[in-house]
Amino acid sequence: MKTKIVKIGNAKGIRLPKAVIEQTGLDEEVEIQIKDGKIIIQSVKKERADWDSAFEKMAQNNDDILLDEEILSDQSSWDNTEWEW
């Protein structure tokens, strides 16, 4: 696909066809990088966007157990009877 560079105010830019934007999943905000003489445009990743699926995979693999379970089982009677939150 070919396109022309157009003047946009004091800058220059290109127009991306709607089909290209839909196929790539670009959103309102994008990140632009230059790599090996090429312009790379990609959607900005939203922080924690895929955490739900990661937690589900952890649960399926039993990777979501407490790492300090021994410490919790060695609580004194004070920890169990006297402590209040």
Question: What is the per-residue pLDDT across 34-60, written as a single tens digit (0 to 9) for each?
Answer: 999 999 999 887 778 788 888 899 889
Label residue 80 by pLDDT band (50, 70, 90): low
Can you tell me the mean pLDDT for 17-34? Answer: 90
Same domain, 29 and 13: yes
Would the pLDDT of 73 be above 80? Answer: no
**Is 64 among the domain residues?**
yes
Residue 63 in domain:
yes
**Helix or strand or coil: residue 35?**
strand
Helices (H) and strands (E) in the chain, counts: 4, 4
User: What tokens appear for 72 in the block?
Assistant: 């919790």
Question: 35 is in which domain, residue-wise?
Answer: 6-43
Question: For residue 83, is it within any domain?
Answer: no
- Is the same domain home to 31 and 59? no
Tell me whether residue 65 is in a domain. yes
* Predicted structure pTM score: 0.48
DSSP-derived 3-state class of residue 43: strand
Does position 75 have pLDDT exceeding 90, yes or no? no
Tokens for 74?
């060695």
- The first and second tokens of residue 67, run together, are 């790492």
Domain count, the chain: 2
